[in-house]
Amino acid sequence: MPSPRLAVPYILAAQSQKEVTHNDGLNVLDALVQAVVEDRDLTAPPGAPAEGQVWIVAAAATGDWAGHDGELAQFIGGAWKFHTPFEGLIAWLADEDVFARYDGAVWVAGVVAATQIDIGGQKVVGGQEAAIADASGGATVDAEARTAINAVLAALRNHGLIAT
């Protein structure tokens, strides 16, 4: 019986060759703890994987990866070992230079979910504020000021900091 989340195998009291189970557990930890994934777009195993490398198996996988879509494929001991992701598992995508998070159904890459972003203890981005209307009208029209204000508002909307 493995551990509930990482599926690390337990060593049984009267088990012989405990080192086999122990080493298998270390390989699971090596793949899943602070995971680094080479790529998530391959549907077939790479031709010359290095020992210990890990991939996220793309949909409609073939060859040795068939039937393992969305799983982590670890090349270890000259063979493929597959790990089922769990909700909240985070992996670094080496080829894309972003993190991916498994949401329980699919891998979501490059999206950071947060309630706010603090830098140096100072809140710099928080929840989206209400929409602000474009500047318009008025008895005295300052076209340059209106253009600048509208450009700032457009930038804030594009960044999702205020609603459209």
pLDDT tens-digit readout, 60-69: 999 999 999 9
Collapsing DSSP to helix, strand or coil, 36 comes out as strand
Mean pLDDT of the 68-75 span: 97
Supply the pLDDT for residue 69: 98
Q: What are the domain boundaries of the chain?
A: 18-109, 117-158
Cβ atoms of 150 and 119 closer than 8 Å: no
DSSP string, 66-129: TT-TTSEEEEETTEEEEE---TT-EEEETTTTEEEEE-SSSEEES----S-EEETTEEEE-SPB
Cβ atoms of 111 and 99 closer than 8 Å: no
Which has the closest alpha carbon to 57: 46, 47, 78, 43? 43
Mean pLDDT of the 49-75 span: 97
